[in-house]
Protein backbone atom coordinates (compact mmCIF):
# COMPACT_ATOMS: atom_id res chain seq x y z
CA UNK A 1 0.00 0.00 0.00
CA UNK A 2 1.26 3.46 -0.75
CA UNK A 3 2.09 5.60 2.22
CA UNK A 4 -0.85 7.28 3.87
CA UNK A 5 0.50 10.74 3.21
CA UNK A 6 0.34 10.20 -0.52
CA UNK A 7 -3.31 9.27 -0.61
CA UNK A 8 -6.22 11.50 -1.48
CA UNK A 9 -8.72 12.43 1.17
CA UNK A 10 -11.48 10.38 -0.45
CA UNK A 11 -9.26 7.31 -0.46
CA UNK A 12 -8.46 7.89 3.21
CA UNK A 13 -12.15 8.39 4.01
CA UNK A 14 -12.74 4.98 2.53
CA UNK A 15 -9.97 3.35 4.57
CA UNK A 16 -11.23 4.98 7.76
CA UNK A 17 -14.81 3.97 7.15
CA UNK A 18 -13.71 0.39 6.64
CA UNK A 19 -11.51 0.58 9.72
CA UNK A 20 -8.44 -0.40 7.72
CA UNK A 21 -6.56 2.41 9.37
CA UNK A 22 -7.19 4.07 12.69
CA UNK A 23 -7.81 7.78 13.07
CA UNK A 24 -4.83 8.02 15.36
CA UNK A 25 -2.53 6.33 12.83
CA UNK A 26 -3.72 8.73 10.18
CA UNK A 27 -3.20 11.76 12.41
CA UNK A 28 0.25 10.46 13.32
CA UNK A 29 1.12 9.95 9.67
CA UNK A 30 0.37 13.60 9.02
CA UNK A 31 2.28 14.83 12.05
CA UNK A 32 5.25 12.57 11.28
CA UNK A 33 5.41 13.78 7.71
CA UNK A 34 5.37 17.34 8.93
CA UNK A 35 8.20 16.57 11.27
CA UNK A 36 10.24 14.91 8.57
CA UNK A 37 9.79 17.35 5.70
CA UNK A 38 8.69 20.68 7.05
CA UNK A 39 12.20 21.79 7.93
CA UNK A 40 12.69 21.86 4.18
CA UNK A 41 9.25 22.87 2.95
CA UNK A 42 8.42 25.25 5.81
CA UNK A 43 4.71 25.20 5.10
CA UNK A 44 3.57 25.55 8.72
CA UNK A 45 3.51 28.49 11.08
CA UNK A 46 1.90 26.51 13.89
CA UNK A 47 1.52 22.76 14.22
CA UNK A 48 -1.14 21.49 16.61
CA UNK A 49 -0.23 17.90 17.48
CA UNK A 50 -2.10 17.69 20.78
CA UNK A 51 -5.36 18.85 19.36
CA UNK A 52 -4.97 16.61 16.32
CA UNK A 53 -4.29 13.50 18.36
CA UNK A 54 -7.04 14.29 20.81
CA UNK A 55 -9.64 14.55 18.04
CA UNK A 56 -8.31 11.34 16.49
CA UNK A 57 -8.46 9.52 19.80
CA UNK A 58 -12.07 10.55 20.32
CA UNK A 59 -12.93 9.29 16.86
CA UNK A 60 -11.22 5.98 17.50
CA UNK A 61 -13.30 5.59 20.64
CA UNK A 62 -16.56 6.28 18.82
CA UNK A 63 -18.59 3.67 16.99
CA UNK A 64 -18.99 4.76 13.40
CA UNK A 65 -17.42 7.17 10.92
CA UNK A 66 -19.53 10.19 11.85
CA UNK A 67 -19.11 12.44 8.84
CA UNK A 68 -17.40 12.46 5.45
CA UNK A 69 -14.27 14.34 6.50
CA UNK A 70 -13.96 12.92 10.01
CA UNK A 71 -10.35 12.27 10.92
CA UNK A 72 -8.93 13.71 7.70
CA UNK A 73 -5.77 15.75 8.39
CA UNK A 74 -6.35 19.27 7.15
CA UNK A 75 -4.29 22.46 7.25
CA UNK A 76 -5.82 25.91 7.61
CA UNK A 77 -4.20 28.99 6.09
CA UNK A 78 -3.11 31.20 8.94
CA UNK A 79 -5.46 34.04 8.02
CA UNK A 80 -8.54 32.14 9.18
CA UNK A 81 -9.50 32.41 12.82
CA UNK A 82 -9.11 29.29 14.91
CA UNK A 83 -10.20 29.65 18.50
CA UNK A 84 -7.39 29.00 20.92
CA UNK A 85 -4.81 28.59 18.15
CA UNK A 86 -2.60 31.55 17.20
CA UNK A 87 -3.74 33.17 13.95
CA UNK A 88 -0.89 35.31 12.72
CA UNK A 89 -1.60 36.09 9.03
CA UNK A 90 2.18 35.52 8.85
CA UNK A 91 2.61 39.01 10.21
CA UNK A 92 4.70 40.25 13.11
CA UNK A 93 1.80 42.47 14.06
CA UNK A 94 -0.31 39.39 14.91
CA UNK A 95 2.46 37.06 15.89
CA UNK A 96 0.92 36.23 19.25
CA UNK A 97 -2.75 36.83 18.56
CA UNK A 98 -5.05 34.02 19.68
CA UNK A 99 -8.62 34.51 18.42
CA UNK A 100 -11.52 33.92 20.83
CA UNK A 101 -13.66 32.58 18.01
CA UNK A 102 -13.61 30.29 14.97
CA UNK A 103 -14.15 31.28 11.38
CA UNK A 104 -17.39 29.85 10.04
CA UNK A 105 -15.54 27.55 7.64
CA UNK A 106 -13.44 26.26 10.55
CA UNK A 107 -16.63 25.66 12.57
CA UNK A 108 -18.09 23.68 9.72
CA UNK A 109 -14.97 21.53 9.40
CA UNK A 110 -14.78 21.04 13.16
CA UNK A 111 -18.39 19.90 13.12
CA UNK A 112 -17.24 17.15 10.79
CA UNK A 113 -14.47 16.37 13.26
CA UNK A 114 -11.57 16.90 10.90
CA UNK A 115 -8.09 16.72 12.32
CA UNK A 116 -6.47 20.12 12.06
CA UNK A 117 -2.74 19.48 11.80
CA UNK A 118 -1.82 23.13 11.88
CA UNK A 119 -1.89 26.63 10.40
CA UNK A 120 -0.01 27.32 7.20
CA UNK A 121 2.27 30.09 6.04
CA UNK A 122 1.16 32.83 3.67
CA UNK A 123 2.29 36.09 2.20
CA UNK A 124 1.68 38.57 4.99
CA UNK A 125 -2.06 39.36 5.18
CA UNK A 126 -2.45 37.41 1.91
CA UNK A 127 -0.62 40.07 -0.06
CA UNK A 128 1.71 38.45 -2.51
CA UNK A 129 2.21 35.78 -5.14
CA UNK A 130 5.09 33.76 -3.72
CA UNK A 131 4.81 33.52 0.10
CA UNK A 132 8.10 35.44 0.22
CA UNK A 133 6.22 38.30 1.84
CA UNK A 134 5.57 36.23 4.96
CA UNK A 135 6.75 38.12 8.00
CA UNK A 136 8.34 34.97 9.34
CA UNK A 137 9.93 32.79 6.64
CA UNK A 138 9.48 31.67 3.05
CA UNK A 139 7.84 28.41 2.13
CA UNK A 140 9.63 26.21 -0.40
CA UNK A 141 8.10 24.46 -3.35
CA UNK A 142 8.14 20.69 -2.71
CA UNK A 143 8.93 20.06 -6.39
CA UNK A 144 12.07 22.20 -6.18
CA UNK A 145 13.06 23.60 -2.84
CA UNK A 146 14.89 26.55 -4.44
CA UNK A 147 11.64 27.80 -5.84
CA UNK A 148 8.58 29.52 -4.50
CA UNK A 149 5.35 27.60 -3.90
CA UNK A 150 3.34 30.53 -5.19
CA UNK A 151 1.17 32.75 -3.04
CA UNK A 152 -0.45 33.90 -1.06
CA UNK A 153 -1.68 30.40 0.02
CA UNK A 154 1.80 28.96 -0.55
CA UNK A 155 1.89 27.14 2.76
CA UNK A 156 -1.41 25.37 2.16
CA UNK A 157 -0.49 24.34 -1.39
CA UNK A 158 2.96 23.10 -0.35
CA UNK A 159 1.53 21.21 2.61
CA UNK A 160 -0.84 19.29 0.34
CA UNK A 161 1.78 18.71 -2.35
CA UNK A 162 4.28 17.46 0.23
CA UNK A 163 1.75 15.06 1.74
CA UNK A 164 1.83 16.79 5.12
CA UNK A 165 -1.97 16.95 5.07
CA UNK A 166 -4.64 15.46 2.88
CA UNK A 167 -6.30 18.79 2.14
CA UNK A 168 -6.05 22.44 3.06
CA UNK A 169 -8.03 25.65 3.04
CA UNK A 170 -6.69 28.66 1.23
CA UNK A 171 -8.02 32.11 0.44
CA UNK A 172 -8.08 33.79 -2.94
CA UNK A 173 -8.25 37.52 -3.65
CA UNK A 174 -6.38 37.76 -6.95
CA UNK A 175 -5.36 34.15 -7.47
CA UNK A 176 -4.01 33.15 -4.07
CA UNK A 177 -5.53 29.67 -4.15
CA UNK A 178 -5.21 28.90 -7.83
CA UNK A 179 -1.71 30.18 -8.54
CA UNK A 180 0.02 28.31 -5.69
CA UNK A 181 -2.02 25.21 -6.58
CA UNK A 182 -0.67 25.56 -10.09
CA UNK A 183 2.94 26.04 -8.89
CA UNK A 184 2.64 23.05 -6.54
CA UNK A 185 0.89 20.65 -8.89
CA UNK A 186 -2.30 20.36 -6.83
CA UNK A 187 -5.93 21.35 -7.26
CA UNK A 188 -7.15 24.73 -6.04
CA UNK A 189 -10.73 26.02 -6.25
CA UNK A 190 -11.95 29.57 -5.74
CA UNK A 191 -15.74 29.54 -5.39
CA UNK A 192 -18.11 32.22 -6.65
CA UNK A 193 -17.97 35.32 -4.47
CA UNK A 194 -20.56 34.80 -1.75
CA UNK A 195 -20.62 30.99 -2.00
CA UNK A 196 -18.45 30.47 1.08
CA UNK A 197 -18.66 32.57 4.24
CA UNK A 198 -15.91 35.10 4.90
CA UNK A 199 -16.72 35.38 8.60
CA UNK A 200 -13.48 34.76 10.41
CA UNK A 201 -11.30 35.24 7.33
CA UNK A 202 -8.98 38.09 8.15
CA UNK A 203 -9.95 40.58 5.49
CA UNK A 204 -7.56 41.71 2.80
CA UNK A 205 -9.84 43.02 0.03
CA UNK A 206 -13.42 42.50 1.12
CA UNK A 207 -15.07 42.60 -2.29
CA UNK A 208 -12.63 40.04 -3.71
CA UNK A 209 -11.68 37.59 -0.90
CA UNK A 210 -13.03 34.02 -0.97
CA UNK A 211 -12.07 30.85 0.87
CA UNK A 212 -11.64 27.57 -1.03
CA UNK A 213 -10.11 24.09 -0.94
CA UNK A 214 -6.60 23.07 -1.98
CA UNK A 215 -6.49 19.33 -2.54
CA UNK A 216 -4.77 16.45 -4.34
CA UNK A 217 -7.58 15.94 -6.81
CA UNK A 218 -10.90 17.27 -8.00
CA UNK A 219 -12.94 14.76 -5.99
CA UNK A 220 -11.39 16.03 -2.78
CA UNK A 221 -12.05 19.61 -3.83
CA UNK A 222 -15.72 18.80 -4.29
CA UNK A 223 -15.92 17.13 -0.88
CA UNK A 224 -14.24 19.99 0.96
CA UNK A 225 -16.29 22.60 -0.90
CA UNK A 226 -19.41 20.71 0.13
CA UNK A 227 -18.36 20.97 3.75
CA UNK A 228 -17.71 24.68 3.79
CA UNK A 229 -20.12 26.20 1.27
CA UNK A 230 -23.45 27.74 2.11
CA UNK A 231 -25.15 30.78 3.53
CA UNK A 232 -23.89 32.30 6.77
CA UNK A 233 -26.07 34.88 8.53
CA UNK A 234 -22.91 36.40 10.01
CA UNK A 235 -21.63 37.39 6.55
CA UNK A 236 -23.85 39.94 4.78
CA UNK A 237 -22.21 39.11 1.46
CA UNK A 238 -22.86 35.40 1.77
CA UNK A 239 -25.49 34.31 -0.71
CA UNK A 240 -28.58 32.41 0.50
CA UNK A 241 -28.58 29.93 -2.37
CA UNK A 242 -28.94 26.24 -1.56
CA UNK A 243 -25.78 24.15 -1.81
CA UNK A 244 -26.05 21.38 -4.41
CA UNK A 245 -24.41 17.99 -3.99
CA UNK A 246 -21.06 18.71 -5.58
CA UNK A 247 -20.07 15.06 -5.62
CA UNK A 248 -22.73 14.56 -8.29
CA UNK A 249 -20.57 16.69 -10.58
CA UNK A 250 -17.81 14.12 -10.51
CA UNK A 251 -18.80 12.74 -13.88
CA UNK A 252 -16.30 12.41 -16.70
CA UNK A 253 -18.30 13.88 -19.53
CA UNK A 254 -17.82 17.01 -21.59
CA UNK A 255 -19.83 16.18 -24.69
CA UNK A 256 -21.32 19.30 -26.12
CA UNK A 257 -19.48 21.52 -23.67
CA UNK A 258 -18.81 24.95 -25.17
CA UNK A 259 -15.31 26.05 -24.23
CA UNK A 260 -14.14 29.60 -24.74
CA UNK A 261 -10.45 30.33 -25.21
CA UNK A 262 -9.86 34.02 -24.38
CA UNK A 263 -7.22 35.32 -26.74
CA UNK A 264 -5.79 37.74 -24.18
CA UNK A 265 -4.80 34.90 -21.82
CA UNK A 266 -2.60 33.28 -24.43
CA UNK A 267 -0.57 36.29 -25.54
CA UNK A 268 3.03 37.27 -25.14
CA UNK A 269 2.81 37.61 -21.37
CA UNK A 270 2.54 33.82 -21.13
CA UNK A 271 5.63 31.60 -21.28
CA UNK A 272 5.57 29.49 -24.45
CA UNK A 273 5.95 26.09 -22.74
CA UNK A 274 3.11 26.92 -20.36
CA UNK A 275 0.93 27.96 -23.24
CA UNK A 276 1.66 24.72 -25.03
CA UNK A 277 0.70 22.60 -22.04
CA UNK A 278 -2.57 24.42 -21.67
CA UNK A 279 -3.39 24.19 -25.35
CA UNK A 280 -2.70 20.49 -25.24
CA UNK A 281 -5.18 20.24 -22.41
CA UNK A 282 -7.78 22.10 -24.43
CA UNK A 283 -7.14 19.75 -27.36
CA UNK A 284 -7.78 16.83 -25.07
CA UNK A 285 -11.13 18.29 -24.05
CA UNK A 286 -12.08 18.78 -27.67
CA UNK A 287 -11.15 15.19 -28.40
CA UNK A 288 -13.55 14.19 -25.63
CA UNK A 289 -16.48 15.91 -27.30
CA UNK A 290 -16.22 19.57 -26.27
CA UNK A 291 -16.22 22.46 -28.70
CA UNK A 292 -13.71 25.25 -28.40
CA UNK A 293 -13.69 28.70 -29.91
CA UNK A 294 -11.57 31.75 -29.39
CA UNK A 295 -13.06 34.84 -27.86
CA UNK A 296 -11.71 38.28 -27.24
CA UNK A 297 -12.08 39.85 -23.82
CA UNK A 298 -10.77 43.29 -24.63
CA UNK A 299 -10.62 44.70 -21.12
CA UNK A 300 -8.33 41.96 -19.80
CA UNK A 301 -5.29 44.23 -20.04
CA UNK A 302 -6.86 46.60 -17.52
CA UNK A 303 -7.47 43.92 -14.91
CA UNK A 304 -4.08 44.29 -13.25
CA UNK A 305 -4.29 48.06 -12.62
CA UNK A 306 -7.94 47.76 -11.60
CA UNK A 307 -7.04 45.08 -9.08
CA UNK A 308 -4.01 46.92 -7.80
CA UNK A 309 -6.16 49.95 -7.11
CA UNK A 310 -9.22 48.28 -5.60
CA UNK A 311 -7.48 45.67 -3.47
CA UNK A 312 -4.99 48.05 -1.81
CA UNK A 313 -7.77 50.61 -1.23
CA UNK A 314 -9.92 48.11 0.61
CA UNK A 315 -6.92 46.66 2.40
CA UNK A 316 -5.71 50.07 3.58
CA UNK A 317 -9.01 50.33 5.41
CA UNK A 318 -9.17 46.70 6.55
CA UNK A 319 -5.72 46.89 8.07
CA UNK A 320 -6.31 50.14 9.90
CA UNK A 321 -7.45 48.19 12.94
CA UNK A 322 -3.91 46.94 13.62
CA UNK A 323 -2.81 49.79 15.82
CA UNK A 324 -1.46 48.27 19.03
CA UNK A 325 -4.52 49.33 21.03
CA UNK A 326 -6.62 46.23 21.53
CA UNK A 327 -4.53 43.30 20.30
CA UNK A 328 -1.39 42.55 18.36
CA UNK A 329 1.99 44.14 18.50
CA UNK A 330 2.46 47.38 20.42
CA UNK A 331 5.78 49.13 20.20
CA UNK A 332 7.92 48.90 23.32
CA UNK A 333 8.85 52.55 22.97
CA UNK A 334 7.28 54.91 25.46
CA UNK A 335 5.59 57.46 23.23
CA UNK A 336 2.27 59.21 22.84
CA UNK A 337 -0.78 57.69 21.18
CA UNK A 338 -0.24 58.70 17.59
CA UNK A 339 3.43 57.76 17.68
CA UNK A 340 2.50 54.47 19.34
CA UNK A 341 0.21 53.61 16.45
CA UNK A 342 2.74 54.71 13.86
CA UNK A 343 5.61 52.79 15.39
CA UNK A 344 3.58 49.66 16.10
CA UNK A 345 2.45 49.53 12.51
CA UNK A 346 5.91 50.28 11.22
CA UNK A 347 7.44 47.52 13.34
CA UNK A 348 4.63 45.07 12.66
CA UNK A 349 4.03 45.34 8.90
CA UNK A 350 6.38 44.15 6.17
CA UNK A 351 7.27 46.25 3.11
CA UNK A 352 4.67 44.82 0.71
CA UNK A 353 1.87 45.41 3.19
CA UNK A 354 3.10 48.94 3.78
CA UNK A 355 3.34 49.52 0.05
CA UNK A 356 -0.25 48.43 -0.53
CA UNK A 357 -1.56 50.42 2.43
CA UNK A 358 0.18 53.48 1.03
CA UNK A 359 -1.15 52.86 -2.46
CA UNK A 360 -4.67 52.30 -1.20
CA UNK A 361 -4.66 55.31 1.10
CA UNK A 362 -3.49 57.47 -1.77
CA UNK A 363 -6.09 56.10 -4.21
CA UNK A 364 -8.89 56.89 -1.76
CA UNK A 365 -7.71 60.29 -0.68
CA UNK A 366 -9.30 63.59 -1.55
CA UNK A 367 -8.53 64.64 -5.07
CA UNK A 368 -7.58 61.17 -6.20
CA UNK A 369 -10.69 59.14 -5.39
CA UNK A 370 -12.38 59.79 -8.72
CA UNK A 371 -9.31 59.24 -10.86
CA UNK A 372 -8.19 56.07 -9.14
CA UNK A 373 -10.63 54.19 -6.92
CA UNK A 374 -13.86 55.18 -8.61
CA UNK A 375 -12.34 54.78 -12.06
CA UNK A 376 -11.11 51.32 -11.16
CA UNK A 377 -14.58 50.31 -9.95
CA UNK A 378 -16.05 51.45 -13.25
CA UNK A 379 -13.51 49.56 -15.32
CA UNK A 380 -14.28 46.58 -13.11
CA UNK A 381 -17.79 46.75 -14.52
CA UNK A 382 -16.38 46.65 -18.04
CA UNK A 383 -14.28 43.59 -17.18
CA UNK A 384 -17.34 41.90 -15.72
CA UNK A 385 -19.29 42.70 -18.87
CA UNK A 386 -16.62 40.96 -20.97
CA UNK A 387 -17.39 37.80 -19.01
CA UNK A 388 -21.17 38.32 -19.24
CA UNK A 389 -20.78 38.45 -23.01
CA UNK A 390 -18.66 35.30 -22.98
CA UNK A 391 -21.36 33.41 -21.08
CA UNK A 392 -23.79 34.05 -23.91
CA UNK A 393 -21.69 31.73 -26.06
CA UNK A 394 -19.74 29.49 -23.70
CA UNK A 395 -20.13 27.31 -20.64
CA UNK A 396 -16.57 27.62 -19.40
CA UNK A 397 -13.38 29.45 -20.27
CA UNK A 398 -10.06 27.65 -20.23
CA UNK A 399 -6.81 29.48 -19.63
CA UNK A 400 -3.42 28.98 -18.05
CA UNK A 401 -3.53 29.56 -14.30
CA UNK A 402 -0.26 31.43 -14.28
CA UNK A 403 1.98 32.83 -17.02
CA UNK A 404 4.96 30.83 -15.73
CA UNK A 405 5.94 27.88 -13.63
CA UNK A 406 7.32 28.42 -10.15
CA UNK A 407 10.13 30.99 -10.19
CA UNK A 408 13.18 30.99 -7.98
CA UNK A 409 13.06 32.29 -4.48
CA UNK A 410 14.31 35.86 -4.53
CA UNK A 411 13.87 36.29 -8.27
CA UNK A 412 11.07 38.86 -8.11
CA UNK A 413 11.09 40.38 -4.64
CA UNK A 414 12.83 43.56 -5.72
CA UNK A 415 10.37 44.23 -8.53
CA UNK A 416 6.80 44.64 -7.30
CA UNK A 417 5.32 45.09 -10.77
CA UNK A 418 6.90 41.89 -12.01
CA UNK A 419 5.57 40.06 -8.98
CA UNK A 420 2.10 41.42 -9.64
CA UNK A 421 2.24 40.09 -13.20
CA UNK A 422 2.13 36.52 -11.87
CA UNK A 423 -1.59 37.08 -11.27
CA UNK A 424 -2.43 38.09 -14.84
CA UNK A 425 -4.72 35.14 -15.53
CA UNK A 426 -6.33 34.86 -12.13
CA UNK A 427 -7.15 38.46 -11.21
CA UNK A 428 -9.98 39.06 -13.71
CA UNK A 429 -11.87 36.15 -12.17
CA UNK A 430 -11.91 37.79 -8.73
CA UNK A 431 -12.97 41.11 -10.20
CA UNK A 432 -15.97 39.41 -11.78
CA UNK A 433 -16.67 37.25 -8.71
CA UNK A 434 -16.63 33.99 -10.72
CA UNK A 435 -15.80 30.42 -9.73
CA UNK A 436 -12.56 28.94 -11.04
CA UNK A 437 -10.40 25.91 -10.47
CA UNK A 438 -6.77 25.13 -11.23
CA UNK A 439 -5.80 21.54 -12.04
CA UNK A 440 -2.33 20.25 -12.93
CA UNK A 441 -1.95 19.87 -16.69
CA UNK A 442 1.68 19.04 -17.18
CA UNK A 443 5.26 19.71 -16.21
CA UNK A 444 7.88 22.01 -17.66
CA UNK A 445 11.41 21.17 -16.53
CA UNK A 446 9.93 19.16 -13.71
CA UNK A 447 7.77 22.01 -12.50
CA UNK A 448 3.97 21.80 -12.54
CA UNK A 449 1.76 23.77 -14.90
CA UNK A 450 -1.83 24.64 -14.03
CA UNK A 451 -4.94 24.70 -16.21
CA UNK A 452 -7.61 27.16 -15.12
CA UNK A 453 -11.31 26.45 -15.70
CA UNK A 454 -13.53 29.49 -15.20
CA UNK A 455 -17.29 29.16 -14.85
CA UNK A 456 -20.44 31.26 -14.64
CA UNK A 457 -21.58 32.59 -11.28
CA UNK A 458 -22.56 29.70 -8.98
CA UNK A 459 -21.67 27.13 -11.66
CA UNK A 460 -19.19 25.27 -9.44
CA UNK A 461 -20.83 22.07 -10.63
CA UNK A 462 -19.86 22.72 -14.24
CA UNK A 463 -16.37 23.79 -13.27
CA UNK A 464 -15.89 20.64 -11.19
CA UNK A 465 -17.22 18.40 -13.90
CA UNK A 466 -14.95 19.85 -16.56
CA UNK A 467 -11.94 19.64 -14.25
CA UNK A 468 -12.84 16.11 -13.22
CA UNK A 469 -13.20 14.97 -16.79
CA UNK A 470 -9.79 16.36 -17.68
CA UNK A 471 -8.22 14.82 -14.61
CA UNK A 472 -9.68 11.39 -15.25
CA UNK A 473 -8.03 11.32 -18.64
CA UNK A 474 -4.60 12.30 -17.37
CA UNK A 475 -2.14 11.19 -14.72
CA UNK A 476 -0.68 14.51 -13.56
CA UNK A 477 -2.55 14.39 -10.26
CA UNK A 478 -0.94 11.11 -9.40
CA UNK A 479 2.61 12.47 -9.38
CA UNK A 480 4.28 13.25 -6.09
CA UNK A 481 7.33 15.41 -5.45
CA UNK A 482 10.49 13.64 -4.46
CA UNK A 483 11.15 15.12 -1.07
CA UNK A 484 14.05 13.79 0.87
CA UNK A 485 12.88 11.89 3.90
CA UNK A 486 9.50 10.99 2.50
CA UNK A 487 8.87 7.91 0.43
CA UNK A 488 7.63 9.08 -2.93
CA UNK A 489 5.47 7.03 -5.25
CA UNK A 490 7.03 6.03 -8.53
CA UNK A 491 7.37 8.83 -11.02
CA UNK A 492 8.30 11.68 -8.68
CA UNK A 493 9.18 15.10 -9.93
CA UNK A 494 12.74 14.47 -11.03
CA UNK A 495 14.03 17.04 -13.45
Within 177-236, the residues that bind other proteins by CB under 8 A are 193-194, 198-203, 205-208, 233-236
Is residue 77 part of the annotated active site? The answer reads yes
How many residues make contact with other proteins (CB under 8 A)? 94
Residue tagged active-site, from 30, 134, 152, 153: 152
- Kindly tell me which of 9 and 431 has the beta carbon lying closer to other proteins: 431
Q: Looking at beta carbons only, is 216 or 299 nearer to other proteins?
A: 299
**CA 340, CA 386: separation in Å to the nearest integer?**
47
Q: Which of residues 346-405 bind other proteins (CB under 8 A)?
A: 346, 349, 351, 354-355, 357-359, 361-362, 364-366, 369, 371-382, 384
Site for other proteins in 42-81 (CB under 8 A): 80-81
Q: Is 242 an interacting residue with respect to other proteins (CB under 8 A)?
A: no
SS3 261: strand
Under the criterion CB under 8 A, does residue 323 sit at the interface with other proteins? yes
Give the residue ranges of DSSP H helices in 42-120: 49-61, 104-111
91 is catalytic: no
CB of 199 vs other proteins, minimal distance in Å: 5
Figure out which of the listed residues 50, 294, 336, 475 binds other proteins, where binding follows CB under 8 A.
336
Nearer to other proteins, 17 or 382 (CB): 382
Is the Cβ–Cβ distance between 397 and 259 less than 8 Å? yes
Which residues have C-beta within 8 Å of that of residue 31, sequence separation ≥ 6?
47, 49, 52, 53, 117
User: Which range, of 45-53, 177-185, 271-279, 344-352, touches other proteins by CB under 8 A?
Assistant: 344-352
Interaction of residue 317 with other proteins, rule CB under 8 A:
yes
Residue range at the interface with other proteins (CB under 8 A); choices 183-191, 327-335, 463-471, 484-492: 327-335
Instruction: Find the binding residues for other proteins in span 287-306 (CB under 8 A).
Output: 299, 302, 305-306
Nearest CB to other proteins, comparing residues 310 and 488: 310
Backbone CA torsion sign across 89, 93, 95, 98: negative
Question: Which residues 140-169 are close enough to bind other proteins by CB under 8 A?
Answer: none
Q: Which member of 30, 176, 316, 402 is catalytic?
A: 176
How are strands ordered across the β-sheet holding 167-172?
44-47, 115-120, 73-77, 167-172, 210-215, 187-190, 436-444, 447-455, 396-400, 258-262, 291-295
Determine if 87 is a binding residue for other proteins (CB under 8 A).
yes
Chain-centroid distance of CA 318 in Å reads 20
107-146 binders of other proteins (CB under 8 A): none
- Does 417 bind other proteins (CB under 8 A)? Our answer is yes
Which residue's CB is nearer to other proteins, number 103 or number 405? Answer: 103
**C-alpha–C-alpha distance, residues 189 and 434, integer Å:** 11
SS (H, E, C) 352-365: HHHHHHHHHHHHHC
**What whole-number distance in Å separates Cα of residue 421 and Cα of residue 403?**
8
Taking the CB of residue 32, how many other CB atoms lie within 10 A of it? Answer: 14
Identify whether 176 is a catalytic site residue. Answer: yes
**Nearer to other proteins among residue 184 and residue 311 (C-beta):** 311
Q: How many CB atoms lie within 10 A of CB 351?
A: 11
- CA 192, 198, 202, 207 torsion-angle sign: positive
- Contact between 23 and other proteins by CB under 8 A: the answer reads no
Give the residue from 359, 365, 366, 325 showing the smallest Cα distance to 342. Answer: 325
Catalytic residues: 77, 152, 176
Amino acid sequence: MAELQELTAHHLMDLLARREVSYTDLAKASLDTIERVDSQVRAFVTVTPERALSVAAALDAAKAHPSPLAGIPIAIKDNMCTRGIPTTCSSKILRNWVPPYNATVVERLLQQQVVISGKTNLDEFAMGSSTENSGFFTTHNPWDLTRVPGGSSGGSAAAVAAGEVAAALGSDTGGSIRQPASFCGVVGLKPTYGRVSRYGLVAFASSLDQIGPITRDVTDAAIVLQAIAGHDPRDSTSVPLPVPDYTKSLVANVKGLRIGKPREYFGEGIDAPVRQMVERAIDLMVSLGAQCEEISMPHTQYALPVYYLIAPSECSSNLARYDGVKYGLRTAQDVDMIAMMEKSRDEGFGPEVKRRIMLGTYALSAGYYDAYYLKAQKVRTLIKRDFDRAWEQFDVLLTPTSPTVAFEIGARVADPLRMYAADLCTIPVNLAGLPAISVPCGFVDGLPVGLQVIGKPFAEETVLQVAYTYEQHTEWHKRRPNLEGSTAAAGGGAK
